[in-house]
Amino acid sequence: MRNQLAILGGEPAIQYPMTYFKSMGEDEVTAATRVIRSGVLSAYIGAPGEGFMGGKEVRAFEEQAAHYFGVKHAIAVNSWTSGLIAAVGAIGIEPGDEIITTPWTMAATATAILHFNGIPVFADIDLDTFNISPECVERLITPRTRAVMAVDIFGQSADMHALRKICDRHGLKLLCDTAQAPGARYFGRLAGTLADIGGFSLNYHKHIHCGEGGILVTDDDMLAQRLRLIRNHAEAVVKSDDPVELANMLGYNFRMGEIEAAIASVQLGKLEARVASRQQAAEQLNQGLRQLEGLKTPVVSEGCTHVYYVYGLTLDVVALGVSCEKIVSALRAEGVPGLMTGYQNLHMLPLFRNKIAYGTKGFPWNSPYCTSSIEYGPGLCPVAEQLNSQSFFGMNLCMFEYYPEDIELIVDAFCKVWSNINTLRNSDAA
Ligand SMILES: *Cc1c(COP(=O)(O)O)cnc(C)c1O
């Protein structure tokens, strides 16, 4: 019975629920308590001067982050979505300017572009790394292209050298959504620091978190200044008549509070250890799954380290003759936690296909400022579409602890499903 698939009534390979990852410890409690006792939970002032930059905890966290990431400026915000919006505003885009990005990311990457009435243009992704394809980016450049927004999806850097070359050749800014890749390295440098502006999410699901929060990183003084202005109701400071200085200074409140900053500070100190533990889990999975036929384990590009926010797998569904859904259902029945099938296809979302963002009439795509005709929908990104609908599945490696003995059982579960692949192919289960 032990070898009968759980989905067909056999005993599951894993018989206990795995432990959810819990990163909050006594150090975080102490840090948060210290701030609460101080009575100062936020300390920004909306006028020029030091107070404009936030309170003591925020500034200490920023200093620590700038030091860790090796950048001139780290700027804390209340979420990474806020960070993305601020980044798009800071580079000074005009309505109708195009920013090339990837369909394999969270919606916030692309909607951040829309917030300043920029137009997201989707480039296809690389079959091995799931990151934006530089060749596809270059084909999509028009006179209206202003920037490229790469994403280090799942915890591995996009091909930043190639993207930088393209951006330099065409006079474009390079932004990077590195939300999933804190601590990942690209030819020795930390992810996020290779773009003009990069940054990280500190939401509950990520490697490190403070509930909600984000951190922007840049080496550019002017961009840093503009990011800080956008974070804190810029109008309080910019009394300027200069249209370039005023552009996109719309008075947001993207401020991080003192409690979050104090917690984020402790969490940042734990990042390297957390990353190492995910890498260890992934390596153990690689060892166990590598020999399974028709299954491709994560490809780590030359010069890169991967921090495995997601452990991404690809199936050769033709060779196996079994659908991804069926295999994942069988694995779930065996007790494998944290699985997902497919990932994203932003260019297929109704928001984009029907161009419904601001109101119902197609703005900003149909405004006179938007001079290219941009369409979204099937066929635009064939690699992403194929992966999403047919062959990709992943494991959320930040969701559970995944101790070595857990991984051993997960590998057993995979091997069991693979050794029953013929039965699974012919069954009606799932
Ligand atoms: C988590 C995430 C975001 C959003 O971050 P928040 O802090 O939740 O706003 C954006 N992009 C990517 C790729 C993410 O993984």
Burial tier of 359 (Cβ tally within 10 Å: 0-12, 13-18, 19+):
exposed
- Contact status, residue 191 vs residue 217, Cβ threshold 8 Å: no
Ligand 1 centroid to Cα of residue 139, in Å, is 27
Give 325's Cβ-side CA count (13 Å radius). 6
Looking from the CA of residue 151, the nearest atom of ligand 1 is 13
Peptide bond into 364 cis (omega under 30): yes
Please identify which residue in the block is written with the tokens 């494991």.
395
Q: Is 125 in the pocket of ligand 1 (CB under 6 A)?
A: no
- Contact status, residue 122 vs residue 145, Cβ threshold 8 Å: no
- Contact status, residue 190 vs residue 184, Cβ threshold 8 Å: yes
Looking from the CA of residue 203, the nearest atom of ligand 1 is 7
The span from the CA of 39 to the CA of 90, in Å, is: 33
Buried b (16+ CB within 10 A) or exposed e, 251-282: ebebbbbbbbbbbbbbbbeebeebbebbbebb
The span from the CA of 195 to the CA of 181, in Å, is: 13
Looking from the CA of residue 81, the nearest atom of ligand 1 is 9
Report, in angstroms and rounded to the nearest whole number, the Rg of the chain calculated over CA atoms. Answer: 23
- Contact status, residue 307 vs residue 155, Cβ threshold 8 Å: yes
Cα dihedral angle (162, 391, 329, 153), rounded to 10 degrees?
Answer: 10
- Protein residue with least CA distance to atom 6, ligand 1: 80
- Protein residue with least CA distance to atom 5, ligand 1: 80
Q: Is 203 in the pocket of ligand 1 (CB under 6 A)?
A: yes
- Contact status, residue 407 vs residue 283, Cβ threshold 8 Å: no
**Token pair of 344 as six digits:** 């994203």
The span from the CA of 290 to the CA of 297, in Å, is: 6
Q: Is 79 in the pocket of ligand 1 (CB under 6 A)?
A: yes
Ligand 1 centroid to Cα of residue 108, in Å, is 7
Q: Is 12 in the pocket of ligand 1 (CB under 6 A)?
A: no
Ligand 1 centroid to Cα of residue 182, in Å, is 12
Q: Is 214 in the pocket of ligand 1 (CB under 6 A)?
A: yes
Buried b (16+ CB within 10 A) or exposed e, 45-55: eeeeeeebbbb
DSSP state letters, 305-316? ----SEEEEEE-
Looking from the CA of residue 206, the nearest atom of ligand 1 is 1
Q: Is 108 in the pocket of ligand 1 (CB under 6 A)?
A: yes
Q: Is 77 in the pocket of ligand 1 (CB under 6 A)?
A: no
3-state helix, strand, coil in the chain (%, to 5): 40, 15, 45
pLDDT values of the chain reduced to their tens digit, one per residue, 430 residues: 579 999 999 999 999 999 999 999 999 999 999 999 999 999 999 888 888 899 999 999 999 999 999 999 999 999 999 999 999 999 999 999 999 999 999 999 999 999 999 999 999 999 999 999 999 999 999 999 999 999 999 999 999 999 999 999 999 999 999 999 999 999 999 999 999 999 999 999 999 999 999 999 999 999 999 999 999 998 666 666 777 788 898 889 999 999 999 999 999 999 999 999 999 999 999 999 999 999 999 999 999 999 999 999 999 999 999 999 999 999 999 999 999 999 999 999 999 999 999 999 999 999 999 988 899 999 999 999 999 999 999 999 999 999 999 999 999 999 999 999 999 999 886 5
Q: Is 105 in the pocket of ligand 1 (CB under 6 A)?
A: yes
Ligand 1 centroid to Cα of residue 425, in Å, is 37
The total of other beta-carbon atoms located within 10 Å of residue 349's CB is 16
Ligand 1 centroid to Cα of residue 37, in Å, is 31
pLDDT at 430: 59
Q: Is 211 in the pocket of ligand 1 (CB under 6 A)?
A: no
Ligand 1 centroid to Cα of residue 150, in Å, is 13
Testing ligand 1's pocket by substitution, the residue of 78, 82, 106, 151 carrying the most ligand atoms inside 8 A of its CB is 106
Burial tier of 37 (Cβ tally within 10 Å: 0-12, 13-18, 19+):
exposed
Ligand 1 centroid to Cα of residue 181, in Å, is 11
Looking from the CA of residue 105, the nearest atom of ligand 1 is 13
Q: Is 331 in the pocket of ligand 1 (CB under 6 A)?
A: no
**Token pair of 384 as six digits:** 């992403």
pLDDT at 239: 65
pLDDT at 175: 98
The span from the CA of 354 to the CA of 361, in Å, is: 10
The span from the CA of 128 to the CA of 139, in Å, is: 20
Q: Is 178 in the pocket of ligand 1 (CB under 6 A)?
A: no
